[in-house]
Amino acid sequence: MEKLVISGPTPLKGEVEISGAKNAAVAILPATLLINGVCTINNIPNISDVRLLCTILEKMGAKIVWNTPNEITIDTRHINTTQAPLDLTSKFRASYYLIGAMLGRKGEIEVGMPGGCKLGARPIDQHIKGFELLGANVRTENGTIYAKANGLNGAPIYMDIVSVGATINVMLAAVLAKGTTIIDNAAKEPHIVDVANFLNTMGADIRGAGTDVIKINGVSELTGNKTYSVVPDQIEAGTFMLAAIASKGDLLIKNCITKHLESLTAKIVEIGGNVEDNGDSIRVWYSKRPNKAIIKTLPYPGFPTDLQPQMGVVLSTANGTSIINESIWESRFQYTEELNKMGAHITAQGKSAIFEGVDELFGAPVYSSDLRAGAALIIAGIAATGKTEVYNLEHIDRGYENIENKFRKIGANIERVSE
Ligand code: EPZ
């Protein structure tokens, strides 16, 4: 078993390069199944979810060549099965995108129920509702999803809840359907726009991604023969922005789209942090103890739930009492128990948590419960006095490329150690 051993406190200083967006890449890879051709994807994050998806696609008949650690060429002309390897698909969340893509490509798929971070109930009823409105038949038996359609026909689909996954999945299924599909009450995250841009680059006809109404005019096929570059990861960028404040540092975060971070930037300024927005990079630095804040996570462009734990670290040593309301997930405060082991004073109750700011955190052995909780605990270890050991790194490696090297390059005293 591996752990990260961190000694603090260390103010993080210097420049950090942001990788391609995990939540775009894990949708774009399944989307290649819609292409009867070859395409190249660069700026792809080299994370375990991406490598796992490549393994799944190869087992389904795709040919993948890694041109560099962050660029692949994928040939999906010879997909030879409608069954995704059930033992692999339950290891992460994004396997559910195989349903929309394979319904579009082959009209059929058998795939295990998706796994992913334990954040409470993670139903997929809106995905299924969309597929059924397009004409598919979907049933779940013994943890396996069977979806089948004799041709898909475009339809108007109103999402009962704003859902990133359902919006992308229905978009995938609609791309090759006959006629026009309208997704209303769609999610607007930057990774949804990126998936739409990828598909349009390969020959699809999708308009309105990034707004709450997306229109997809079905086309007969996607031919590929193009190269696409994945959008920078706004959640990774935000993670380092909050690390700059939590560690009393000064960071220049490069290769990001600052427009995607407006809700976080506003909050950092509100609590007394300093921000210099250069469009494709952003400088964030600490000058005084953060003020207390009230945070409510919301779908984009609201404050992202995927930055909630990282903000929690900042608020645990802010001036006064802060509150976080987590409106997206039922259970995304497990990390607060770990921060309390480090001397924080947090009371989590259901979808809300109260942070009574303490003067400092102290190193301790802590356990990551999910991807972003893990990132938060790394930040806490860098800011805390003493030695911190972060366990359950498999969660972190799913979504952050070379995490300890990136932190070490900006001054962190951090080592990955095998127990
Ligand atoms: C995506 O999850 C991300 N994962 C999550 O990021 C992120 O937290 C979430 O979007 C919200 O931004 C990937 O993109 C792989 P949702 P997803 O469907 O698509 C409810 C990370 O750290 N809902 O937008 O699963 C759901 O329970 C991960 O990178 C239904 O009720 O999230 C939740 O309350 C963690 N029925 C809300 O909608 C459905 O059919 C939003 O979920 C679908 C969702």
285 and 361: one domain? Answer: yes
162 and 92: one domain? Answer: yes
Q: Atom 8 of ligand 1 has which residue's CA nearest to it?
A: 306
Q: Which atom of ligand 1 is nearest to the CA of 121?
A: 27
217 and 310: one domain? Answer: no
State how far the alpha carbon of 60 is from the alpha carbons of 30, 40, 124, 153, in Å.
Answer: 11, 18, 23, 25
10 and 58: one domain? Answer: no
Q: What is the pTM of this model?
A: 0.97
Torsions phi, psi of 119, nearest 5?
-120, 15
Q: Where a domain ends, among 229, 259, 293?
A: 229
Say how far apart CA 281 and CA 273 lie, in whole Å: 16
Q: What pLDDT, on the 0 to 100 scale, is given for residue 121? A: 80
For 105-123, the three-class secondary structure string (H helix, E strand, C coil) is HCCEEEEECCCCCCCCCCC
Do strands 137-141 and 250-254 pair parallel, antiparallel, or not at all (unpaired)? unpaired
Q: 250: domain range?
A: 2-18+232-418
Percent of the chain at pLDDT exceeding 70: 100
Structural domain count, the chain: 2
Tokens coding 156? 């108007």
Q: Atom 25 of ligand 1 has which residue's CA nearest to it?
A: 165
Q: What is the CATH number of the domain that holds 275?
A: 3.65.10.10
pLDDT (average), residues 190-201: 98
Q: Which atom of ligand 1 is nearest to the CA of 164?
A: 24
Residue 278 has pLDDT above 90, yes or no: yes
Determine the distance separating the centroid of ligand 1 and the alpha carbon of 117, expressed in angstroms.
10
Pocket of ligand 1 (CB under 6 A): 22-23, 26, 93-94, 117, 121-127, 161, 163-166, 187, 305-306, 328-329, 371-372, 399
Residue 168 has pLDDT above 90, yes or no: yes
Percent of the chain at pLDDT exceeding 90: 93
9 and 148: one domain? Answer: no
Q: Atom 33 of ligand 1 has which residue's CA nearest to it?
A: 328
Q: Tell me the DSSP string of 7-55.
A: EE----EEEEE--B-HHHHHHHHHHGGGEEEEEEEES----HHHHHHHH
Q: Where a domain ends, among 209, 229, 249?
A: 229
Determine the distance separating the centroid of ligand 1 and the alpha carbon of 299, expressed in angstroms.
9
Query: Measured in Å, how far apart are the chain's first and last C-alpha atoms?
Result: 5
364 and 409: one domain? Answer: yes
Q: What pLDDT, on the 0 to 100 scale, is given for residue 419? A: 81
Torsions phi, psi of 197, nearest 5?
-65, -40
Residue 369 has pLDDT above 90, yes or no: yes
State how far the alpha carbon of 395 is from the alpha carbons of 89, 368, 375, in Å.
Answer: 16, 7, 9
Q: What pLDDT, on the 0 to 100 scale, is given for residue 246? A: 98
Q: What pLDDT, on the 0 to 100 scale, is given for residue 42? A: 98
Who contacts 12 (Cβ-Cβ below 8 Å, separation ≥6)? Answer: 240, 243, 244, 247, 249, 250, 251, 382, 407, 410, 411, 412
220 and 306: one domain? Answer: no
Question: Is 54 an active-site residue?
Answer: no
What's the whole-number average pLDDT of the chain? Answer: 96
171 and 215: one domain? Answer: yes
Tokens coding 58? 């190869």
94 and 198: one domain? Answer: yes
Among 29, 122, 138, the mutation site with the greatest number of ligand 1 atoms within 8 A of its Cβ is 122
Q: What pLDDT, on the 0 to 100 scale, is given for residue 89? A: 85
8 and 101: one domain? Answer: no
Residue 115 has pLDDT above 90, yes or no: no
Q: What pLDDT, in 10s, does the model give residues 282-323?
A: 999 999 999 999 999 999 999 999 999 999 999 999 999 999
Determine the distance separating the centroid of ligand 1 and the alpha carbon of 163, expressed in angstroms.
6
Banded pLDDT at 114 (limits 50, 70, 90): confident
pLDDT (average), residues 210-215: 98
Residue 215 has pLDDT above 90, yes or no: yes
Q: Which atom of ligand 1 is nearest to the CA of 93?
A: 15
Among 161, 236, 335, the mutation site with the greatest number of ligand 1 atoms within 8 A of its Cβ is 161
Determine the distance separating the centroid of ligand 1 and the alpha carbon of 165, expressed in angstroms.
6
Q: What pLDDT, on the 0 to 100 scale, is given for residue 118? A: 84
Q: Which atom of ligand 1 is nearest to the CA of 372?
A: 22
pLDDT (average), residues 345-360: 97
Q: Where a domain ends, among 229, 246, 277?
A: 229
212 and 325: one domain? Answer: no
Say how far apart CA 246 and CA 249 lie, in whole Å: 8
54 and 177: one domain? Answer: yes
Residue 186 has pLDDT above 90, yes or no: yes
